[in-house]
Structure 1
Amino acid sequence: MLYLIGLGLSDEKDVTVRGLEAIKGSDRVYLEAYTSILGVGKERLEAFYGKDIIVADRDMVETESDDILANADTLDISFLVVGDPFGATTHADLLLRADALKIPYTVIHNASVMNAVGAVGLALYNYGQTVSIPFFTDSWRPDSWLERVRENARLGLHTLCLLDIKVKEQSEENLARGRKIFEPPRYMSVPTAVSQLLSLLEEDAPSTDSTPAPEALNPSTTLAISLSRVGDPSQKFVSGTLEELSKLDEDAFGGPLHSFVIVGNRFHALERDFAARWAVDRENWDKVSNGVYGVRD
């Protein structure tokens, strides 16, 4: 049996009882270690679960899945995922491979950022498409995700922005030379993500003085809420306009992992007041909420 087990968002104790029972009964345990991270290391997991853990990087999961699934028709194999198992399409692919090999599997769900984002106080049913923001390079500035944000804005929907992480990545030079030398882990911060967003908006800024449409995402009148280490006791939220968030030091947002929400026009007084508790400038938060978003008490 293959068990695909969500670990939740914080530490080793966030695993469900069903998940823990499956792990303890498994012959091999893998930890997927590239789509997200927990707030604790592998050693803490091993001590709590009483099992040795094999760290599965991107190469192993995507190109060596046969090794993960080996003998899973007669042995119990656990594949651990931070958050919920279906937070990344890679894990659906692993189940398709198991299905093709006639290997039975069980999915054990857990909390993920996709539902824990409700902690900022915005109604989950008013979220649109979630986007992932990648690190820009000197030669690569992908912007397809921005159109998804604009589509949400046109519909008045909130956008959850997930920020890039780089774990066990090679530089272009080392990759070209076939050298297995890996760069230090990098986790995108809210200031970096907002800076990249604003740079794209500046490139697309209208040349007229007409009032911008919602999808223009005017930095001084578009509200956003940052989330760091959501689900952990050290979680931290900051709310304000995109412009206000862009001017804060990185330390103001707390430790990784970071994400943020761009607030859509389906925004109500209760949500305004809930998120105002973390506002950079409470007076401006209320001014933009009421004057631009049309929130009424």
Structure 2
Amino acid sequence: MLTFVGLGLFDRTDISEKGLRCIRDADHVFLECYTSLLIGSSREELEEYYGKPVQPLYREDVEQHPDELLRLAEKESVAFLCAGDPMVSTTHADLRLRAGARGIRTAIIHGASISSAVCGLSGLQNYRFGKSCSLPFPQKNWFPTTPFEVVAKNLAQNLHTIVYLDIQNERYMTVPEAVALLDQMAARNGTTIPLYVGIARAGSDTPIVRAGTGSTLASAEFGPPLHILIVPAGLHDMEREYLEMFAGL
């Protein structure tokens, strides 16, 4: 049995009772560590909370070498843990398909997802979001422009965009860094992005939500990770009022 367990947004206490019971009953517990993180709890704190060891998994382990995990799931109960929700912003459909092809029973225990949390924190209505995108750190001789292309297409259809910010080892992209990159892409295309909403530490007791122009957010202090960015389209009256009251627009 392989159960995908969503851990929620920020720390060990975000998990559902159902998810916690599954982990404590599991024979083996694995933690996916590359698409997102519970920034408010270390792996050691999770192990203490669950009362059992947690084995970290990285992209290569899950996408290229999942055989050991699947072998265990053929005869024992395996909990596969993910920050957020396993099948939303941190999708693991491929792993579930591989398990199904081997005749392994699977289940999903959902957790709070950043894709829905941003709506509550920003007041932007969920049905007005278009395709999301990920913004990676540029590398030498590589400056991807796909994120701007996604944003531009959404804006043309009057749709908001969630921009997921890159995580690389111990390096976490910040809202100001992301804004600077998107503004640079926009300038290369002879245009500007009129408004951004930056969010930091969603799910914590002290999240930060700020709305403004690129120049405003590029100099704003958002504090520790994790950060996420939204590019809003034209605002409904209630969306604007919400951002004015809760995000300093």
TM range (shorter): over 0.9
In structure 1, what is the equivalent of residue 115 of structure 2? 114
Q: For residues 177 and 68 of structure 2, what CA distance do their matches in structure 1 show? A: 37
The one-letter code sitting in structure 2 at the alignment partner of 1:197 is: L
Is structure 2 residue 201 aligned with structure 1 residue 229? yes
TM-score for both structures, normalised by structure 2: 0.95
In structure 1, what is the equivalent of residue 32 of structure 2? 32
Q: For residues 43 and 111 of structure 1, what CA distance do their matches in structure 2 show? A: 22
Is structure 2 residue 165 aligned with structure 1 residue 196? no
Aligned residue for 1:73, secondary structure, equals helix
The one-letter code sitting in structure 1 at the alignment partner of 2:236 is: H
**Within 5 Å, which residues of 2 pair with 1:99-248?**
99-118=100-119, 119-167=121-169, 185-205=170-190, 216=191, 218-219=192-193, 222-246=194-218, 248=219
In structure 2, what is the equivalent of residue 170 of structure 1? none
Shift of 1:21: 1.1
Query: Structure 2: where are the runs of 5+ without partners?
Result: none
Which of 231, 243, 247 is matched with 1:262 structurally?
231
In structure 1, what is the equivalent of residue 43 of structure 2? 42
The one-letter code sitting in structure 2 at the alignment partner of 1:166 is: Q
Task: Kindly provide the CA deviation profile for residues 230-264 of structure 1, in whole angstroms up to 9, marking residues without a partner as x.
Answer: 11112111111123212x15xx1121111111110
TM-score for both structures, normalised by structure 1: 0.80
Which of 240, 244, 249 is matched with 1:276 structurally?
244
In structure 1, what is the equivalent of residue 86 of structure 2? 85
Q: For residues 88 and 68 of structure 1, what CA distance do their matches in structure 2 show? A: 22
In structure 2, what is the equivalent of residue 6 of structure 1? 6
Q: For residues 49 and 256 of structure 1, what CA distance do their matches in structure 2 show? A: 24
Q: Is the 8 A contact 1:116 1:230 kept in 2?
A: yes
The one-letter code sitting in structure 1 at the alignment partner of 2:11 is: D
Please tell me the root mean square deviation across aligned C-alpha atoms, in Å: 1.4
Aligned residue for 1:239, secondary structure, equals strand
Aligned residue for 1:132, secondary structure, equals strand
Q: Is the 8 A contact 1:133 1:145 kept in 2?
A: yes
Aligned residue for 1:238, secondary structure, equals strand
Q: Is the 8 A contact 1:62 1:90 kept in 2?
A: no
Q: Relative CO higher for 1 or 2, CA cutoff 8 Å, sep ≥ 6?
A: 2
State how many pairs are aligned: 247
Is structure 2 residue 67 aligned with structure 1 residue 66? yes
In structure 2, what is the equivalent of residue 95 of structure 1? 96
Identity score, percent: 38
CA distance 1:165–1:238, shift in 2 (3 Å): same
Task: Kindly provide the CA deviation profile for residues 157-206 of structure 1, in whole angstroms up to 9, marking residues without a partner as x.
Answer: 11111100002xxxxxxxxxxxxxxxxx100011111111111122121x
Shift of 1:46: 0.9
The one-letter code sitting in structure 2 at the alignment partner of 1:126 is: R
Q: For residues 52 and 195 of structure 2, what CA distance do their matches in structure 1 show? A: 45
CA distance 1:88–1:274, shift in 2 (3 Å): closer
Aligned residue for 2:153, secondary structure, equals helix
Q: For residues 25 and 31 of structure 1, what CA distance do their matches in structure 2 show? A: 16
Shift of 1:48: 1.1
Shift of 1:73: 2.3
Q: For residues 89 and 215 of structure 2, what CA distance do their matches in structure 1 show? A: 31
Q: Is the 8 A contact 1:235 1:254 kept in 2?
A: no
Q: For residues 189 and 18 of structure 2, what CA distance do their matches in structure 1 show? A: 50
Runs of 4+ with >4 A deviation: none
Shift of 1:90: 5.5
